[in-house]
Structure 1
Amino acid sequence: MFKFVKATAIILAGLLFAGAASAQTKVAVVNIQAAIMSTEKATAKINALKTSSEYSQLQNSAESIRAEVQKMAEDAQKNGVTWSEEKKAEEQRKMNFKRSDFETAVKKLRAMEGQAVQDLQKDLLPKAKEALEAVIKERKLDLVLDASAAVYAGTDANLTEELVKRLNAAK
């Protein structure tokens, strides 16, 4: 009797595993942010930002300040040995002010870039989700993961490029 129960259990387990193996889950990955930022619209918007006069002036200002700080640091290293304590403190204070100016300029540049990205996300995210849903239906996918969550995904399993193509075509 025990052999019969054991054999039946083995057969049932085999049938269950065979059924599970034949019903494969279709899985894919996508990086929606990368897809949005790779579109022609995003590239054009970022290029327009970087060539705008306000951005260019701010970037030139930051570069100029960075060069001044570097020159001040080189001067301090070269001549600092001969300076009085007051002169050293004064030069350090000037350098700190310049560094602060540089950091402020960089923060403004990053804020401008961040705003442009946020505007793109707001505009293109609904379109990207719609395009992704169409791809999911066409490919009859059961599961779509964020690409950053995947350890490995073959080229056929990554929907990012296809999403970029669809977003570019939709305009």
Structure 2
Amino acid sequence: MENKKVFKFVKASAILLAGLLFAGAASAQTKVAVVNIQAAIMSTEKATSKINALKTSSEYSQLQNGAESIRAEMQKLAEDAQKNGVTWSEEKKAEQQRKINFKRSDFETTVKKLRAMEGQAVQELQKELLPKAKTALEEVIKEQKLDLVLDASAAVYAGKSANLTEELVKRLNAGK
């Protein structure tokens, strides 16, 4: 009988101790936040200015105008083939399709050049601003005494107060 009383006492003590530990852990809340560093960098005044400068540059504008021109030519060739194709010989149809394919290839090449220019500008921005963003983020983490900061893309939900991206943009714009 005495063993049963000791076992019940130990069991009750363990349950009480577990409850106290859980209550203590619950009261010491973990402070968690999210951030999208890439979005913060691309939302800065510097990034906006650099992207606008790229898109208004003569080389970029020429490529963009060239892409639009090629697209219009492809559309005209396709419309002509659709409208008049029934009366064309097989050779004429094949020639028209070859012209469309050449134009499509030219269009794709031009678009690749545009994307490459944009990608290069983004890489330059990342290279320049990423160290500053990391430093600014470390300051925010210390100031807000955060325990955990996740990439925003990993979060299912984060309230506005838990998202550090806007604060990071402000600090990068201010040059902190």
TM-score for the superposition, normalised by structure 1? 0.98
Amino acid at match of 2:82: Q
Shift of 1:6: 2.0
Kindly, what percent of the aligned residue pairs are identical? 89
SS at match of 2:34: strand
Q: Within 5 A, what are the aligned runs for 1:1-171?
A: 1=5, 2-170=7-175
**Partner-residue secondary structure (3-state), 1:152:** coil
Deviation at 1:5, TM superposition (A): 2.1
Report the alpha carbon displacement of residue 22 of structure 1 after superposing the two structures with TM.
1.1
Cα distance between partner residues in 2 of 1:81 and 1:142: 71
Q: Deviations over 1:58-115 (max 9, x none)?
A: 0000000001001111111111111110000000001000000000000000000000
* TM-score, normalised relative to structure 2: 0.95
- Find runs of 4+ consecutive structure 1 residues off by over 2 angstroms: none
Deviation at 1:12? 1.0
Paired residue type of 1:55: Y
| Bigger radius of gyration among the two | 2
The whole-number CA distance in structure 1 between the counterparts of 2:79 and 2:12 is 84
Give the distance between the partners of 1:143 and 1:110, measured in 2 at CA.
35
Q: Note the residue ranges of structure 2 that are not aligned, 5 or more in a row.
A: none
In the comparison of the two structures, how many residue pairs are matched? 171
Cα RMSD for the two superposed structures? 0.8
Alpha-carbon separation, structure 2, partners of 1:5 and 1:72: 88
Structure 1 gap ranges (5+): none
What amino acid does structure 1 have at the position aligned with 2:117?
A: M
Q: CA deviation at 1:3?
A: 2.0
